[in-house]
Every structure is written in C-alpha cells, then in structure tokens.
Structure 1
Amino acid sequence: MKTRVRELRKQSKLTQQQLADLVHVSNRTIISIEKEQYSPSLMLAYRIAEVFGVTVEELCCLKENRELEDKDQEAN
C-alpha cells in the first residue's frame, strides 16, 4: 500500500529510527512501510499520523489506493 510516510518523515527531518522509536516499532517496520512491502495496522497508521499531524486517510493515501484497487478488480 502506498503511504506518505517517507515524504512526511523527511519533511520532519526524522530518521527512520527516530520515527520507529516515536511509534514503538523497529526501524525495519518503518523501512518496510516506506518500500510498500508492509501495510501498517490501523493502530500503527494512527500513531504515525499523530506524529505528523495528518489524518490516517492522508497518511495512507486511502482514496488513491482505493482507486488503484478498483482498477485492478475491473481488469480481472
């Protein structure tokens, strides 16, 4: 799932480790989220969104991801 984690983290001048510490996960989790290899749980997405002062919808690009998923479903 596409997220804005990397973009927001860099804007905030946080390292992956600093963000991980703030939301109580390993830096590997943050790396995986940024590489779109792992989708955060709702609670983790909420914690990250709080750090950056955005909504979960904004953080997780929910509208864009839904549209991509809908296109994939239509193609199959």
Structure 2
Amino acid sequence: RTLIKNLSENEKWMIAKLALKYNPGTRALTGSILDQVAESDITDKLLGSLNPVSVFSYNIKEETSLNKEKWRIILELIAIKGCPN
C-alpha cells in the first residue's frame, strides 16, 4: 500500500486504466487497493466495469484493509496440502 500511496495521481490513473484490460477479479482487487490511497474518481470506472452481482474470492490475510463490501471481495483460507489449518 505504501508503494502505491507514493505514486503520483497520473501513475494511479495509469494503474486504473491498465487494470481495465484485465479480468474482473483483477479489476476488483486493483480498485480496492487504489480506493485506499486515491480519489474515488480514479476507481469509479473500475467499479463500474464490474458485474454488480459478481463476488471475488481471494486468499488474503483478514487484516488486509480492503474495502471488501464495496468491491464485493470475500476472503477465504485455502488449505495447502501438508500445512495445518
């Protein structure tokens, strides 16, 4: 998050624009990250590009501060073979 926070507004716009070329899950995750450090007008187009009934599941630490509700992100713990739960 610190790396993205230190980017210029133009660079944040560029990340959002590039994310539009990727799949919806990538757009949701990118938008959620940018949402923490950028003006909402940068992320509005990403949010608008998502199907409003889609949800996106990621194996990310619960402590990660993402705007999960807005971006319809659910965090799930994926069991790794040989690792205790």
**Structure with more of its chain in strand, by fraction:** 2
After TM superposition, the score normalised by the length of structure 1 is: 0.28
More relative contact order in 1 or in 2 (CA 8 Å, sep 6+)?
Answer: 1
After TM superposition, the score normalised by the length of structure 2 is: 0.27
For the pair shown, which has the larger CA radius of gyration, 1 or 2?
2
